[in-house]
Amino acid sequence: MAEPIARRSFIAAAFGAVAAGALSGPLLAQTSSLKFPQWVEKFRARARARGISDAVYDRVMGDIRPDTSVYALDRAQPEFNEKPWQYLNRRVSDWRISTGKERAREYAPLLARIEKKYGVDRNIMLGLWGMESAFGEVVFNPKHMRPVIPALSALAWGDPRRRSYWEQELLNALTIIQRGWSTPKEMVGSWAGAMGHTQWMPEVWLNMGVDFNGDGRISPFGAPDDALAGTAQYLVKRGDYRPGEGWGYEVTLPDRVSPRTAGMRTIAAWRKLGVERANEKPFPRSGEKARLWQPMPKGPVLLVTQNFQAVKSYNPSNLYALAIVLLGDRIGGEGPLIGKFPGGERPLTLSEMQEVQRRLTAAGYDTGGADGRVGQDTMRAVAAFQAKVGIKPADGYAGLKVLAKLREGGV
């Protein structure tokens, strides 16, 4: 994507809403030389140049009100404040692993067709689907998603930093409507305009989308066929995904090899240096090229291949890509990382997470339910509880300390 913000995961955006909740709109108001109605009329010429008819433009933009709440969310990027182990624990959770296994069985024929056509490993697709929308759980949840046209209109009108980018995405969204692929009512997504099962920006919808279920239109909503196939095509065409190769391996290093050793080398070359898999299994492909990466000093060491970079092309974050591939591995039956992160802790099990949610609910905090999935409500409840009992930082991380404190208090 042209902008990193376009591929932020929906959970990060949702938690951004929590972090920004105390900020008032006027404090973060943007600047524009035109009143919004004037800007809408001026923007009509841009839409006409893209082939948008006046009838469609009037129907979509005629009575629209800009969603100015997106300005606060634009400035809240909490994903960068998490420790690597927290980031991974939150996302490679028991709920996502068990739900991913259910989706793997439910959609096995679809995943097999996508794997055959595009060569992208089904577990990578499941990991990405789980990261982007919790396997479709939040696609239309108003706590996480909002109408996209008012959001993009506000950003195109009032964000001076990336105005040209938002203008293009608004034009892309209008083009989708012009083609009859969707309606303004159906187009709901993140504050930045990402939509559907795999959180497509309008540009991705237009240029990478696939009518994989043959219904005559391309849509990231509804059945996941189009969303998953289009995303697989994205990884191949824009990420240079290489069929038949893995994403990487956790490894152990001999003393003479530093985790900061640079360069792409074949697995055979790494083995000559004494690098071996942490699980003691053989490397499956000696000719595969990979580079060393250590997410955190003294933590696990990985050899990552071009396919790791392909996943990263969907969001330029190493931890985002790592969460996807690790989630995919766990869905496929692999174990967790063997190496430990300094200062880290194991993630809560599904039953422990449900216990945290039940105890918080009993104490008067709204977790949005006790299903074991950590969404915006649970993170908000955890942060409030942490602040009340003095757990620092009050970061919303539902970990062992929070569970112990809840039990200690008899909650």
How far, CA to CA in Å, does 96 sit from each of 128, 140, 317, 319, 327? 11, 18, 20, 17, 8
Q: Which residues, other chains included, contact 262 with Cβ-Cβ below 8 Å and sequence gap of 6+?
A: 291, 292
Instruction: Return the pLDDT at 17.
Output: 34
Domain boundaries, the chain: 4-77+143-193, 248-306, 350-408
The domain made up of 4-77+143-193 has a fold known as Helicase, Ruva Protein; domain 3 (1.10.8)
Asked if 100 and 327 count as a contact pair (C-beta separation under 8 A), the reply is yes
DSSP string, 122-182: HHHHHHHHHHHHTTTTTTT-TTT-EEHHHHHHHHHHH-SSSHHHHHHHHHHHHHHHHTTS-
* pLDDT confidence of residue 134: 95
Question: Residue 16: what pLDDT?
Answer: 35
Q: What sign has the CA pseudo-torsion 359, 364, 369, 375?
A: negative
* Amino acid 94: pLDDT: 96
Q: What integer pLDDT is reported at residue 359 of this predicted model?
A: 97
Model confidence pLDDT, tens digit, residues 46-69: 999 999 999 999 999 999 999 999
Low-confidence ranges of the chain (pLDDT < 50): 1-29, 78-80
CATH T-level assignment (fold) for domain 350-408: Muramoyl-pentapeptide Carboxypeptidase; domain 1 (1.10.101)
> What does the DSSP 8-state code read for residue 239?
T
**Of 122, 146, 121, 136, nearest to 198 (Cα)?**
136
Are the beta carbons of 325 and 248 closer than 8 angstroms?
yes
Round to whole Å and give the CA distance between 318 and 190. Answer: 21
